[in-house]
Amino acid sequence: MAMALSFINKAKGVPEGDPDPAVLALLDEALAQRSKFHLALDASVTGIGDLSASLTQIGAKDLTLELSGIKRVPDSWFGASVSCYFQLADRKVRIKLRYYQFNSRIVSTSTRNDIALIRISLPEKIIPGQRRKSLRVRADIARFEYAAIWSYEGSGAFDPKKPLIAFANFRAGLAVIENLSAGGMRLTLKYALLRGKGLVPEKNARFILHLALAGDSSPANEPFWIIAKVNNVVGDYVTKDVSLGLEFAVEGALDPATGKVRWKKVQDNAIERLAQTTYLWHVEFYRDKGFIDV
């Protein structure tokens, strides 16, 4: 902390190459508040989807982070790019949280008392970062191993073999997941599908969703079972396609013993495993577009 404050005191006439005082001020505040850091590494480096860490030291050129639940860091992490996300409580309005993110590289790894530590380069800039669970990302069907939808009749009972909207409909482009977040999705149903199924979607209707994401690098290793509520229905007068705004209300888990899905209400308006995934997709998108240069 003292190191960060010493840099901040040099705000006037900071020599070229010295850390940005605004960056150090935010990091110093994160250290003082003991903010939890969420880390996202390239999928080629690790399959761990959501890494948590604590900032323990601010150095002249790097930060030291203590990883939660990890005893040893693989050698492959050395030199890897990492995206970091953290939040700060507003000192003026205690109930208000501010969210930030930055990009860096891992410059060294070590272990102390069976706790893994990493040092990452001091970021050149820290930008406001949207909370992971509210991130909306594009969701190309290639990212899904499976997707299907059933009507929700109220009892939770449904025939898994007879979806209302099958994976084949998604692959044919008759059903399109326009965007996805931890709390909901925008789903477009083409007129040919609506006509063929006799569907007339209405506000407040509910659907059962089954989503399985492709690839083994996702934190969402287990498929998602979700009951979603239709919050809004928007029709296209030209194409007669219909776009639905879905809110995720209930999430489920398949019970291997009974073969049935056990349901529970979505907490804090978001499915955490899905928040991890959409955040990683968000980071990947900006890296591919060249907006992230690490």
Domain identity same for 193 and 107: no
| Same domain membership, residue 266 and residue 147 | yes
> Same structural domain for residues 23 and 115?
yes
In a domain, 266, yes or no: yes
- Domain identity same for 15 and 56: yes
CATH code of the domain containing 115: 2.30.110.10
Same domain? For 121 and 9 the reply is yes
The count of domains in the chain is 2
pLDDT truncated to tens, each residue of the chain (294 aa)?
Answer: 333 333 333 333 333 467 789 999 999 999 999 988 988 776 556 656 557 899 999 998 999 999 987 878 888 888 888 888 888 887 776 556 788 888 899 999 888 888 889 999 999 999 876 555 566 778 889 989 999 999 998 766 778 889 999 999 999 999 999 989 888 999 999 999 999 999 999 999 999 999 998 865 444 568 899 999 999 999 999 999 999 999 999 998 888 788 788 889 988 778 878 887 887 776 666 555 444 333
Question: Are 62 and 169 members of one domain?
Answer: no
The verdict on 141 and 263 lying in the same domain is: yes
**Is 282 domain-assigned?**
no
Q: Which are the contacts of 178, defined by CB distance < 8 A and separation ≥ 6?
A: 138, 139, 185, 186, 187, 188, 243
Structural domain includes residue 167 = yes
Residue 39: which domain range?
Answer: 2-129
pTM of the model: 0.57
Instruction: Return the exposure string of 106-126: e unless at least 16 CB atoms fall within 10 Å of the residue's CB, then b.
Output: beebeeeeebbbbbbbbbeeb
Same domain, yes or no, for 223 and 144?
yes
Beta bridge partners of 228: 207, 248
Hey, CA dihedral for 218, 159, 185, 88, is it positive or negative? negative
**Same domain assignment for residues 53 and 142:** no
Q: In terms of domains, do 99 and 8 share one? A: yes
Same domain, 190 and 266: yes
* CATH code for position 145: 2.40.10
Same-domain check for residues 27 and 118: yes
